[in-house]
Chain A
């Protein structure tokens, strides 16, 4: 349609087309530069569904639409510190869903002496990023959307 109009009076409509082209370029840029860190499994391990009446809101099921892997600085002390706070089963399952299968099914603190284990733990906890998808309440099936890497944990009025 633009082409047709443009043929009649090309000079008049060129700005519109240029504008459109710019917009398309911007959309491309947005895809290229969608930087930032998306939701990591550390976050997933801390969250639960807090809908009123729900008693087993943890762990949330991960629904992956788009995920990325990003390199993050390794800090052994932080990992050792975090290990005691982590629910391993939930991390293991979530990592599987994200396609990472190198984690052992069970872990105990003695394994923290192994560099190899720490690297795997680091990768699962901090380097697997969910960009688009959802976290799903295991009890009610309510979807908490993850959009641009931000989990939206806000409840509806009737869930409070």
Chain B
């Protein structure tokens, strides 16, 4: 059946991807097909209004309730471009679909909502009064109604909300089937989190990542750059078992004291503790040779060298070639603190894909952020590829004028073969030998933070091309 799916008008790229992932989680699309979507007439793809085909109301409810960005999924009783048209549509909607929700012993509530315009309280009341042709027999209960009805209006709102204008007025009336529990967000918001690092993942984004990864009870989720655990907290909220590693031992082991560390972040929300936290290097993983296909999902925000740089083992000066190989004297081995070298993004992502290809179960998901420079106006972005993986979603979030990050969702579709392992081993050596070259090539920091002055020369062209572009800020919301 077709349902009206209304989204929150934010993180536009993430919204349909989230519903698709959740549909998968709740057993739809098991044959690998895609969800069917439809747009209302004249609506821009970034409009919050969509129609989605779902097999049952239970599935629709599960998806909506677990989601973060679905304002509501509704059984549409009628729509029109005027109230007369709406009335006609609702009247002709079959009675057997309507009457069960209008029964005398039930309770209900009608909410008037709008997109792109404000409707005063008086107008809202008038509109509800105008619905008397629907035979409501139940009692009104504003706090805890059994049935929630929504009257949603959208009108020509000019370009105020960043979307291309919709010329035609549209009114929807439907019964709510489910809606996102946004109360999660104030509960988990970072400002009340005990232990924070400079790159702790925003709670809303962490939940979206956990949804993309299909985190759920009985599944094992791994984050190789765990930091303060902000992504695993979201996965644990959805019932997954969690496991994390980080190369910085101060973060995973010590935190800021006994009541302010990764463990305490889980305790704060009464979540089960991670199964394991360890200090390990993503470049040289300590997993035993025969171990494979243990994790159901790997979710992470790799260090891409803008706000935090990655480190790997091997010695800072050693890999640069400044000093020749040395041995740590025996008497100093016990408390020796190994020097770590910078870890380029290209190598980091290569290692991540290799580890994920080996350690994920078939059908398991790798969900991670990948930074993209926005300066070169090339429309084709090349995302990392791997023979074991299929890229199923790319969701962009613009971070500054210079760069954005894209949440990539990849599904493991092929086994990790000897051949793939060998290719990865050779690439690993290549990275090690050309350490400096790779560091320079993948240096995002310079591109993101370089001062504008040296670019003035070519800024002339890019500026004029920017002005000529339509003022569409969709992805900024």
Residue positions of A touching B, CB distance < 8 A: 29-30, 33-37, 39-40, 42-43, 45-50, 57-59, 72-73, 75, 77-78, 81-82, 85, 87, 126, 143, 147-158, 160
Instruction: Give chain A residues whose Cβ lies under 8 Å from the Cβ of B273.
Output: 36-37
A54 CB → nearest B CB, Å: 10
- Please tell me if the beta carbons of A81 and B218 are within 8 angstroms of each other in the complex: yes
Of the candidates A36, A46, A73, A160, which one forms a contact with B287 in the assembled complex, judged by CB atoms under 8 Å apart? A46
- Please tell me if the beta carbons of B253 and A156 are within 8 angstroms of each other in the complex: no
Count of B residues near A, CB < 8 Å?
Answer: 52
Closest residue of chain A to B326, judged by CB?
A: A158
- Please tell me if the beta carbons of A58 and B289 are within 8 angstroms of each other in the complex: yes
- Please tell me if the beta carbons of A158 and B313 are within 8 angstroms of each other in the complex: no
A51 CB → nearest B CB, Å: 10
Instruction: Give chain A residues whose Cβ lies under 8 Å from the Cβ of B253.
Output: 147-148, 150, 152
B288 at the interface (CB under 8 A from A): yes
Instruction: Give chain B residues whose Cβ lies under 8 Å from the Cβ of A157.
Output: 313-315, 318, 326, 328, 338-339
Q: A143-B334, A147-B253 are in contact. Are A154 and B247 (CB under 8 A)?
A: yes
Interface residue ranges of B308-348 to A (CB < 8 Å): 313-315, 318, 325-328, 333-334, 336, 338-340
- Please tell me if the beta carbons of A151 and B278 are within 8 angstroms of each other in the complex: yes
Docked Cα-Cα span, A71 to B264, in Å, equals 17
Docked Cα-Cα span, A93 to B239, in Å, equals 31
Of the candidates A42, A82, A87, A154, which one forms a contact with B276 in the assembled complex, judged by CB atoms under 8 Å apart? A42
Of the candidates A37, A81, A155, which one forms a contact with B263 in the assembled complex, judged by CB atoms under 8 Å apart? A37
Of the candidates A33, A39, A77, A150, which one forms a contact with B258 in the assembled complex, judged by CB atoms under 8 Å apart? A33
Closest residue of chain A to B294, judged by CB?
A: A85
A59 CB → nearest B CB, Å: 8
Of the candidates B243, B258, B279, B313, which one forms a contact with A151 in the assembled complex, judged by CB atoms under 8 Å apart? B279
Q: A75-B218, A157-B313 are in contact. List 16 more A-B contacts (CB 8 A).
A: A29-B258, A35-B264, A37-B275, A43-B276, A45-B288, A47-B278, A48-B286, A48-B288, A57-B289, A75-B217, A78-B220, A150-B252, A155-B313, A156-B328, A157-B318, A158-B328
Instruction: Give chain A residues whose Cβ lies under 8 Å from the Cβ of B277.
Output: 149-150
Instruction: Give chain B residues whose Cβ lies under 8 Å from the Cβ of A75.
Output: 217-218, 241
Of the candidates B243, B272, B284, B285, which one forms a contact with A73 in the assembled complex, judged by CB atoms under 8 Å apart? B272
Q: A78-B241, A152-B249 are in contact. Are A40 and B315 (CB under 8 A)?
A: no
